[in-house]
Amino acid sequence: MNQSAYEAGNEQTDSSLILAIETSCDETSASVIRGGKHILSNIVSSQIEIHERYGGVVPEIASRKHVESITLIIEQAVKESGFSLKDMSAIAVTQGPGLVGALLVGIVAAKSLSMALDIPLIGTHHIAGHIYANELVHDIVYPCMALVVSGGHTELVLLESEGNFQVVGRTRDDAVGEAYDKVARALRLPYPGGPHIDKLAMEAEESTVLPRAWLEAGSYDFSFSGLKSAVLAVINQTRMKGLVLDEAALARGFQESVTEVLVTKALRAVRQYGAKQLLLCGGVAANRGLRAALAARCEAEKVPLLIPPHTLCTDNAAMIGAAAHLKLKRQQFTDLDMKADPGFSLESWSVSPFSKK
């Protein structure tokens, strides 16, 4: 079936049901998605309170908590969907990237269900999920550009067509979320640091001037380690002089530096590659400062901006189901010998063209 035939026929009446599972880090999640766009259930169990005392995610603890809750989360998602396991069309699961132990818990559960129900397995890329979370609430138009900002990833991804990914820029050191966490720790704020830095920045009347890391002319890569070091230098110098640190101003300066670089490079990439939309994706997409700055710049330059609601920005299984639907409708399934892949390449997960039948 070619793509135009699919769009003219099946897409309007697609009643496929995907049971999706996400366990890449510290959220255990299961969701049932109908037709790739309709969320029938999306259950998320967070471990933030457990890891907060350690100042970050402890992989061994995360894996153990996934084991403890995965069965109940799946059962709850299926029940809330109004369907049963025997109604599912396929099982989708995050294959990578992520913490290998955490990934394995979801993969073992997904393989078991695939074999027991005799339905296809779809190993899914975590970042593809973040990008296609937008598909659950918007209509994506191609070509488009995705700005992925999360705890472990900062990337600019070009999508020339549906499900075909080309990474045009990525972080060379810390991801945005990691930088936020490290700055928050330096300011003795709780984990995760992003929401606390964002809140503090919104309260500031002034802004501490901090450097912007533009890298080479024309580069779409990112670097935030130098900015983190600049923040630490301000903190240390202020304390050595016996002065009172204006934490709100420092948080605002840090956020403005991060935001200016992200927004400027994303809009430049949109223009260079002729993208018709800009998609904001990932956990840091919930950041109010970034959302406001990006929305203002896109409005000024008349670039349509797609942002998922807060509940779909952080890790969840609904986004995995949305991405997996790209493979389901092309009948591109994963073998049962699939392994967890912490370094999974987004470009390698790109879908193949529709087969002509």
User: Which domain CATH number covers 206?
Assistant: 3.30.420.40
Regarding beta strands 121-125 and 27-34, do their DSSP bridges make them parallel or antiparallel, or are they unpaired?
unpaired
- Confidence (pLDDT) at 10: 53
Is residue 355 in some structural domain? no
DSSP SS3 for 170? strand
Report, as an integer, the average pLDDT of 175-202. 92
Is residue 153 in some structural domain? yes
Clarify whether residues 328 and 301 are in a common domain: no
Clarify whether residues 163 and 282 are in a common domain: yes
Q: Answer yes or no: are the C-beta atoms of 228 and 182 closer than 8 Å.
A: yes
Clarify whether residues 150 and 71 are in a common domain: no
- Confidence (pLDDT) at 344: 96
Is residue 357 in some structural domain? no
pLDDT confidence tier of residue 4, bands split at 50, 70 and 90: very low
Cα distances from 172 to residues 25, 121, 125, 214, 225, in angstroms, run 21, 33, 21, 12, 9
Helical segments of 145-284, H only: 176-186, 193-203, 225-240, 247-273
pLDDT confidence tier of residue 37, bands split at 50, 70 and 90: very high
Does pLDDT of 14 surpass 50?
Answer: yes
Please spell the DSSP secondary structure of 44-85, one letter per residue: EEE-HHHHHTTTS--HHHHHHHHHHHHHHHHHHHHHHHT--G
Clarify whether residues 196 and 213 are in a common domain: yes
Distance from C-alpha of 284 to C-alpha of 314, rounded to nearest angstrom = 8
pLDDT confidence tier of residue 355, bands split at 50, 70 and 90: low
pLDDT confidence tier of residue 151, bands split at 50, 70 and 90: confident
Clarify whether residues 32 and 67 are in a common domain: yes
Clarify whether residues 19 and 99 are in a common domain: yes
Does pLDDT of 5 surpass 70?
Answer: no
Residues, the chain: 357
Does pLDDT of 7 surpass 60?
Answer: no
| Domain of 289, in residue numbers | 141-307
Number of domains in the chain: 2
Is residue 300 in some structural domain? yes
Is residue 354 in some structural domain? no
Residue 329: HSE in the Cβ half-sphere, 13 Å Cα cutoff = 27
Q: Answer yes or no: are the C-beta atoms of 98 and 342 closer than 8 Å.
A: yes
Clarify whether residues 319 and 342 are in a common domain: yes
- Confidence (pLDDT) at 8: 39
* Segment 101-133, tens digit of pLDDT: 999 999 999 999 999 999 999 999 999 999 999
Clarify whether residues 128 and 7 are in a common domain: yes
Report, as an integer, the average pLDDT of 170-198. 92
Report, as an integer, the average pLDDT of 182-206. 92
Can you give the pTM of this predicted structure? 0.92
Is residue 173 in some structural domain? yes
Radius of gyration of the chain (CA): 21
Q: Answer yes or no: are the C-beta atoms of 223 and 213 closer than 8 Å.
A: yes
Clarify whether residues 33 and 149 are in a common domain: no
Is residue 146 in some structural domain? yes
Does pLDDT of 49 surpass 80?
Answer: no
Is residue 99 in some structural domain? yes
First vs last C-alpha separation in the chain: 5
Which H/E stretch holds residue 209? none
Report, as an integer, the average pLDDT of 79-91. 98
Report, as an integer, the average pLDDT of 163-188. 94
Closest CA to 247 of 187, 305, 192, 198: 187
Clarify whether residues 244 and 278 are in a common domain: yes
- Confidence (pLDDT) at 89: 98
From 53-67, 122-136, 242-256, 319-333, the region with the lowest mean pLDDT: 53-67
- Confidence (pLDDT) at 81: 98
Clarify whether residues 279 and 150 are in a common domain: yes
Clarify whether residues 95 and 125 are in a common domain: yes
